[in-house]
Each structure stands twice: as structure tokens, then as C-alpha cells.
Structure 1
């Protein structure tokens, strides 16, 4: 049973609905959808149909920073076709979310992370996220454990957003063209002079890479990285790894 119409757009007289089994997903998870095209009052030729996974990413420029809608993934659903008045075309669709899909479900008030699906003849980069039904993306076990360790270590998440670009460290590099930053600050004065910590994640099928940016008032910024295998032993060791890197 399909549970949610995620996107509904009009293309001339025809109407296109994208229906997803569930809008609650994990990065890298397989999802199942059905695209329903309903004809209008007259025959209509459709030049093709696309589906895109979208987010809102911060772009840095000489004039300052601003947010723009960014395609993470794009799929071709249908070629050129003619739909007759009242005709209904149903297209079953299965795909896998990009492993670097940003997490939206976070315990932070200033959460600037949104993810949604857009359907159309040509994906318009100016599509307004406020007009779309969002996907609810949850952290995998490794990311969730990192968040919990930061909280237990006395850090509070202050902000989450998505930035346009790539991150890299020895042994890994992101590839989606966007990356998410979780910004933390210590609840009290840090023993090691840390003013702010930013975590970014590059999840893969069997491991998650973590890039840690430390802002120390007297030593400037520094970077650390760690890779967490998706095993019980490695996830149980996240606390030791992170607390050591935060020193």
C-alpha cells in the first residue's frame, strides 16, 4: 500500500504524481515509488519525465554566502510519449538513495537541512523546497553514535546545514557535490581550548568516514578524521576514538 504522495505537478493538461511507500528513509537505502501520469481533457505529448533527489546547499561566493537548490541524484523515468484524455499511466520505480544524502532528523533548533523529491519534464533548479513534501532522512548507526558521544562529552549541537562542494582526508573523498556540517559548541569552557567542532560524514555501504574540524582559540583550526566500520565492535569504540581526537 502506497502511503504518501510526495510530489504532484501539472504538465499542461496532464498531472503527474510521485507516490512513495514511505518518506522515512536512511542514506543509501533502497526505496520504492510509483509515478502516476493522468491525462487531461485533450491528447498531450510528453517529451520525457525526470525524478530528482534535491537538497538546499549553501554556496560561498565573493558577494557572501547564499542557499540554492541542488540536485543530489537524478533519474530518467520515461521517454517521449503521448497520453490520451483521461488515460492513466503507472510507472513502478525502485532506486537507492545516495549514501551521502544529508540527514534531516536532528536534535537541533537551527536545522537548515531539507531533502525532497522533484518530478518534471526538466528538473528546475529553482524549484522551491517549501512547495514540496520533504523526505525524513535518519542517521545511520555510526553517525548516531557520533552524535551521542558528542553530547556525552559535553558538546551541544548548535546548527546543521548542507554546503556545496567536496570534503576529503587521507583515505576518503566525498562525491555527491554537497556535504553536511553539524556544528557543536562545548557547554562549558573546554579543557583543551576547543571553541567549536564541526562534524561532516561520508557514509559508504560498510563504513562511515568522519571529518572533524576543531576551532581552538589559541591554535586556530585543525582537522582530524576517522573511519568507522559498520560493525558492533567499531561502533562501540567510537567514544574512545572521538574523545581522543577532540584533545
Structure 2
């Protein structure tokens, strides 16, 4: 019977199980994620090679195939943490391992349909590896929130949020998260859109603005056709700059400088 149970365990029947309990699933980038991994032994003893935690997300990447533009979604591992090395898990044994890990500062916000999740896995030789997935809610850092509110107060409406593949920004991961705003106020006749990209660090927030001017006349059409209507600028914020009025004034001044 034990041989039969071992064969079943190899395909996942009566095998070890893993379940992660998070103390909190709502964080801002840079905060600490804490919880416990609960492991339950199955019908037979199994050698666990290691236990790992992965914080992951997804991004879009465009490519050409047969002269057609296509988009695929790729997974990006933001951080991988080895929780435990090899040990023998006995039949019906219960094991609880606590963990604490810092969420990377470049973790995207879970706005729109952007997923960020914690994946827990057991590596078991010659067997199906048990896994558990927990969705995380990543909220804006106070500096990010200040920028988002300031942009909306200037008469822009958030249209879309997505993570796109790029290698132009020399960041830790092959994507950036873009916040696309459409003008509804005083800039409605001057801009097509305003895109915001964040780069957060422990000391400051870097804000990159892409200002897409509305085409006017032949020159405007020419500029738009060759993406010459897009202008880029950036500014930096620290904790001392949290006054929303000051952030709005900074963004307004930058936009004005590109319109004249």
C-alpha cells in the first residue's frame, strides 16, 4: 500500500499541501510583506528540496509577426525568496514557517487590471510541486498619490493604467507602469493626453511626464505622424513636497513651458 501511495503522491494525490497566510495583503511599494507558510504532510513522507516565495506581476510586450503587430503578456518575477532548504516532511506532519520580505520600490500599483501576486511553492523531486497564489493589493505611495490627485485637480481624467515592456529607462525590470490621463479642463484643446511614469526610491520619487500635444494644421499633422508632438520632462519629490497645491503648480508650470 505504501508503494501505491508514493505513486499517487508523485502525481499530487495525497501529497503535501501548502497554504500561505498573509498578515496583510494591502501595501505600498517598499513596505514589508509578512505572513506564514503552512505546510501539511500527505499520506506518505516526502523530501522537500526547498520552499520559495515569489512576488510577480505581468507586463505587455509588442512584437511583429508577418508584418502584423501583436501583443503578449509576460510574467516578471520582482523578487524570489528562498524560505527553507531541504527537509523531510513526515506523513500528516504540520509545519509553519514565518516570513518577512520587502516589496520592491518598483512594484507596480494594482490599479486597473494590473496583477501583483505572491506565489508559494514546494520543490519536490520527481513529483508535482504544490503551489499557492495570493493576490496583493499595491496602493500608491503618499508621494504617488499626491501626483495622481494633483493631475486630476488640473482637469485630467485617468483613462488607462498598464505595464509595458521597455529597456529605455535602465530600471531593475523590463517594463514601466504608465498612467494615461485625458484632458477635460483647460488643456482639452491643447493636449491629446498626459502620461505619467513613477520611479520610487527610499529617498525620493522621480516623476516622468510625457506631454502629447494636439495636432494643429499641416505642421501639427506632420509632428503627430512622426511622434514629434510628444515632449518629455521630469521632476522630483521628497516627503517635504507633499503639499498637493505645490505639486499641481509644478506640473502646470511644466505643461505650460511645452505649450509656448
Aligned twin of 2:230 = 221
Structure 2: runs of 5 or more not aligned:
1-9, 124-131, 224-228
In the TM superposition, 1:12-23 aligns within 5 A as 12=12, 13-23=15-25
Aligned twin of 1:140 = 141
SS at 2:135's partner residue? coil
Aligned twin of 1:3 = none
SS at 2:105's partner residue? coil
Counterpart among 187, 202, 213 of residue 190 in structure 1: 187
Aligned twin of 1:157 = 158
Query: Between Structure 1 and Structure 2, which shows a larger proportion of helix residues?
Result: 2
Residues 117 and 132 in structure 1, CA contact (< 8 A), matched pair in contact too: yes
Give the deviation of 1:241 after TM superposition.
Answer: 1.1
Give the deviation of 1:41 after TM superposition.
Answer: 0.7
Which contiguous aligned blocks of 4+ residues in structure 1 show a shift greater than 4 angstroms?
Answer: 232-236
2:115 & 2:239 partners in 1: Cα distance? 25
Note closer, same or farther for the CA distance 1:53–1:119 as it changes in structure 2 (3 Å cut). same
1:198 & 1:151 partners in 2: Cα distance? 12
Aligned twin of 1:53 = 55
Give the deviation of 1:177 after TM superposition.
Answer: 3.1
Residues 213 and 223 in structure 1, CA contact (< 8 A), matched pair in contact too: yes
1:72 & 1:55 partners in 2: Cα distance? 7
Aligned twin of 1:7 = none
SS at 1:237's partner residue? helix
Give the deviation of 1:134 after TM superposition.
Answer: 1.6
1:100 aligns with 2:106: yes
Aligned twin of 1:75 = 81
1:61 & 1:86 partners in 2: Cα distance? 49
Give the root-mean-square deviation of aligned CA atoms.
2.3
After TM superposition, the structure 1 stretch with the greater mean CA deviation from structure 2, 190-199 or 141-150, is 190-199
Structure 1: runs of 5 or more not aligned:
1-9, 123-130
Give the deviation of 1:121 after TM superposition.
Answer: 3.8
Aligned twin of 1:5 = none
2:243 & 2:204 partners in 1: Cα distance? 10
Aligned twin of 2:118 = 117
Query: Between Structure 1 and Structure 2, which shows a larger proportion of strand residues?
Result: 1
Aligned twin of 1:41 = 43
Note closer, same or farther for the CA distance 1:235–1:11 as it changes in structure 2 (3 Å cut). farther
SS at 2:143's partner residue? helix
2:209 & 2:168 partners in 1: Cα distance? 11
SS at 2:47's partner residue? strand
Number of paired residues? 221
Residues 33 and 101 in structure 2, CA contact (< 8 A), matched pair in contact too: yes
Counterpart among 186, 194, 197 of residue 200 in structure 1: 197
Give the deviation of 1:156 after TM superposition.
Answer: 0.5
Note closer, same or farther for the CA distance 1:234–1:166 as it changes in structure 2 (3 Å cut). farther
